[in-house]
Structure 1
Amino acid sequence: MTERIRQPALQPPPIRPAVPRSEDPAAWLEAHYRHVWETRMRDLPFVNPALTVEAVGFQRLNGDWLGVMITPWFLNLVLVYGGGELWGDIPAGERRYLNLPCGTMQFIADDDPDIGPYQYCPLIAPVDKLPDMATARFVAADAVKTVFCPPAPPEPEPVELPETRAETPEVSRRGFFRRLAGKRS
């Protein structure tokens, strides 16, 4: 019989299965983060007031939704379940690695009571170094382009060719001196 001696101080939250979303999540993600901005984040010292909330480049990849969220406090690559192959239900706070066209990236699971489960990969946080929305949009669009573009194939390694020497017969010491003396044999 096994008796549990101690209980973990923090139990991971239960996994709430994600519901597939058929429509582009950009509009409802923007509405959600605008509400968060206006009700909970506006007066915090680490936000960048030059930025607003905007979803950039959401598109399907293997049936799920992937795009970038710009907020005054972060710039994240966001994965939303669309019924595809990328998604995996994991507890909030857990991390998983996804193979994307650009390579492998680490995503963190979250489960917001208002919008449900989603996963994100932090790109920039805090965003205080982004001077304006135009720069944030440029960075977000570049991130989307990079994520959806496979890396260039590696350069082929140069093949070392064997040294090409003229076919010269091995000359013995005696042959060398004979040639010096002008005698050929």
Structure 2
Amino acid sequence: MSETIRKPALAPPPVRAAIARDSDPTAFLEAHFRQIWQTQMHDLPFVNPALAVEALGFIRHEGDWLGVVVTPWFLNLFLLSGGGQLWGDIPAGQRRFLELPCGTLQFIADNDPAIGPYQYCPLIAPVTAIADMATARQAALDALRSVFALPAPPRRQPRLPPGSAGRESPPRLLPTPGWSPARWSLRCRLRGIASLQQNARLSTRRCADVSGDTRAHR
């Protein structure tokens, strides 16, 4: 008795193993995306010509590289392999969830022929509403501060007198010292990617409003 092995109509893309980078990828990423901007993206309708290509804040976290890349068409959190524990090879287009100090964030895998595999967490796209590069930098730095901010510990509740069981208030989270609740909600550190993206957009709008007010008073 013969058996026919059925093959899926669409096979998953092959996994390309990432090469661990020993050095800071900032200059490498900037050169790559500047070339794309100059040769492929200029005439597309969703780009913001007020922005430039810049990589900000890349540091090692658990041995791998995390930072933000700003271009005229996206503002994303990037993860590149540095030979550490955070990176994991998956096919391009697939998603993985990573535990970071702020909570769980979703990253999407990509495989660029020029720079190899990388994974990104979309923060702001499209970026057409960002007024200028200074606003984009501020949004990127705010996002990085949020990503690496630890959730505050719960406040200890006072001991209640006998007979008051069942009437306790839910524990509240203390704000991180030095953190501005007007700019970033504590929830972005607890609810993961959805809140992080929402707060990044709010931060951008606030920066744009401040920039507009400053110009209006000149």
- For Structure 1 versus Structure 2, the TM-score category normalised by the shorter chain is 0.7 to 0.9
Matched, 1:151 2:151: yes
Distance 1:141 1:2, change over 3 A: farther
Percent identical: 63
Matched, 1:41 2:41: yes
Question: Residues 63-74 of structure 1 correspond to what in structure 2 (within 5 A)?
Answer: 63-74=63-74
Distance 1:76 1:2, change over 3 A: farther
Structure-1 residue corresponding to 2:201: none
The SS at the match of 1:97 is: strand
Displacement after TM superposition at 1:2 (Å): 4.8
Deviation digits for residues 47-98 of structure 1, max 9, x if unmatched?
0111000001000000000000000000000000000000000000000000
Displacement after TM superposition at 1:3 (Å): 2.9
Structure-1 residue corresponding to 2:19: 19
Matched, 1:109 2:109: yes
CA distance in 2, matches of 1:98, 1:160: 39
1:102 aligned partner, one-letter code: C
CA distance in 2, matches of 1:49, 1:142: 22
CA distance in 1, matches of 2:155, 2:41: 47
CA distance in 1, matches of 2:77, 2:158: 37
Distance 1:158 1:38, change over 3 A: farther
Matched, 1:52 2:41: no
1:161 aligned partner, one-letter code: P
Query: More helix by proportion, 1 or 2?
Result: 2
CA distance in 1, matches of 2:163, 2:96: 50
The SS at the match of 1:111 is: strand
Deviation digits for residues 134-170 of structure 1, max 9, x if unmatched?
0000000111111112111233455432259xxxxxx
CA distance in 1, matches of 2:147, 2:105: 9
Supply the RMSD in Å over aligned alpha carbons: 1.7
Structure-1 residue corresponding to 2:199: none
Displacement after TM superposition at 1:11 (Å): 2.2
Structure-1 residue corresponding to 2:177: none
CA distance in 1, matches of 2:87, 2:79: 8
The SS at the match of 1:121 is: strand
- Relative to structure 2, which stretch is displaced further, 11-20 or 146-155? 146-155
1:3 aligned partner, one-letter code: T
CA distance in 1, matches of 2:42, 2:3: 51
How does the TM-score come out when normalised to structure 2? 0.71
Aligned length: 163
CA distance in 2, matches of 1:136, 1:84: 29
1:37 aligned partner, one-letter code: W
CA distance in 2, matches of 1:81, 1:20: 5
Structure having the higher Rg: 1
How does the TM-score come out when normalised to structure 1? 0.83
Structure-1 residue corresponding to 2:98: 98
